[in-house]
Structure 1
Amino acid sequence: MTVLHEVQDAGPAVEIVSRRDAIARGLRLYFTGVPCGRGHLSHRIVKNWACVECKKNWDAVDPKAKLRRKARYEADVDKNRESARSWARDNAQRVRANVAAWQELNRERLPGYQKNWRSKNGASVRAAAKRYAKKYPEKIRIKQANRRAKKRAALGSYTSSDVVEIRELQRGRCAYCPTALDKFHIDHIIPLAKGGTNYRSNIQLLCQPCNNKKYSHDPIEFARSIGRLL
């Protein structure tokens, strides 16, 4: 049976979760339903058992505490960032659970928080986007293609993994000619303009000449025009 309690730091009703269960579920916070030594009925922090409400009060009593923590972090930013990244890689499932839990607790605040963060970190956001695009050009290409299809009200979407599998099924060659697909165009078998979907089942890979010739033609008519069908 789920037991709910009113909690000082997280809204009107919260599920009882032991520290052990919180660790197993990859959560950052847990809640016992028992007040701390100072009488706060609040979440506790998994990594150090601390009461969240007490921590808020500590920072209020000693406003320089946060500055000292920031100073320790900035004393060796690169080392601390790498340490944080290493921990996140080793605890990916826990990180995802923590993010999901935070988003659930802050659902109403989230859009404003994200907008505010992007406005304050615009340069780093753009730099990260450029690095990602350079590292994963095919994923960006597919994301843009899915967006265009969505604007045209086409049903479905496909992923970079789908494209890799389709290329393997085509044995690395164009769907209409024996050209090796070192570079390829992603084509909708039934064109979107003719009511085709954007599902994987309607995707094929073509060389540039074949894609230019096919354009938005019906696949059967095009196959006949190049002698692939009678």
Structure 2
Amino acid sequence: MKRPDRAPSSFRLSAVRGLVLLRHGGLKLVRPLHRNGHMALRQTSNGSCLECCRLRGLRDDVKAKSRESWKLRSQRQYEIFKERVARNPEAYLGKRRENYERNREKILGRQRDNYKRNPDPWLKSSRNRKARKKGADGTHSLKDIGRILKQQSSKCAYCKIELKNKYHVDHIVPLARGGTNWPNNLQILCATCNLQKKDQDPIDFARRKGRLL
């Protein structure tokens, strides 16, 4: 590789290390080439090479260690947050109410945009919340819904119509009849079948649809 040309006057020559340095915004450019074969941008605080840090961050073991450190830090921050709320829950709820009233239109607009862009998380949370209110046992996630949809080959469990991206998540045994909210009590239906089924017994509804004798 061609050696860099003569450094401009804005560079400072270090006679001790034989390096040309340019300090700018907390970084310094080091010439000639780094020992690993790349031009070295270094932090002025600790002298660490940014390119070496980037390459090190691509290693799987470093990624795993970073993820674990992030999880521990997030868990600790969450514990601190819960302790703070537990000490004075009224103050926390009061601040949330004040913030909601002050930015109500902005918050509702953002929620509407998020729902239009990706309704699945909102619908999942709504189903789990309704199940808790009715005293039903269990919960489910988006991964569970995706697995059930794949098992049904993206078809309605009753009429076998292709669902594509429009489907309803139904409790096989309705919550009103003591059904649970666990994934093994869920099925994917088209809108027509789900609205017809409502809270009927699954066997009776299957007979009306001609699926059982």
TM-score range, shorter chain: 0.5 to 0.7
SS of corresponding position for 1:108:
helix
**Correspondent of 2:169 among 186, 189, 204:** 186
Unaligned runs of 5+ in 2: 1-44, 46-64
1:116 aligns with 2:95: yes
Question: How far apart, in 2, do the equivalents of 1:212 and 1:180 lie?
Answer: 17
**Correspondent of 1:224 among 185, 207, 210:** 207
**Correspondent of 1:97 among 29, 49, 72:** 72
The structure where strand makes up a greater share of residues is 2
CA RMSD of aligned residues (A): 2.9
May I ask how many residue pairs the two structures share in their alignment? Answer: 142
Q: Which amino acid aligns with 1:185?
A: H
Change (3 A) 1:146 1:170: same
Q: Could you say which residue in structure 1 is the equivalent of 2:144?
A: 162
The 8 Å contact of residues 118 and 125 in structure 1, kept in 2 or not, is answered as no
Question: How far apart, in 2, do the equivalents of 1:91 and 1:127 lie?
Answer: 35
Q: Could you say which residue in structure 1 is the equivalent of 2:158?
A: 176
Question: How far apart, in 1, do the equivalents of 2:197 and 2:81 lie?
Answer: 50
SS of corresponding position for 1:171:
coil
**Correspondent of 1:142 among 118, 124, 136:** 124
SS of corresponding position for 1:223:
helix
Q: Which amino acid aligns with 1:116?
A: K
Displacement of 1:158: 0.9
SS of corresponding position for 2:163:
coil
**Correspondent of 2:189 among 206, 214, 218:** 206
Aligned pairs (5 A) from 1:1-40: none
Q: TM-score, normalised by structure 1?
A: 0.53
Q: Which amino acid aligns with 1:108?
A: E
Question: How far apart, in 2, do the equivalents of 1:117 and 1:214 lie?
Answer: 40
Displacement of 1:216: 1.2
Question: How far apart, in 2, do the equivalents of 1:212 and 1:120 lie?
Answer: 38
Change (3 A) 1:221 1:98: same
Change (3 A) 1:143 1:220: same
Identity %: 36
Question: How far apart, in 2, do the equivalents of 1:106 and 1:181 lie?
Answer: 42
Unaligned runs of 5+ in 1: 1-47, 49-89
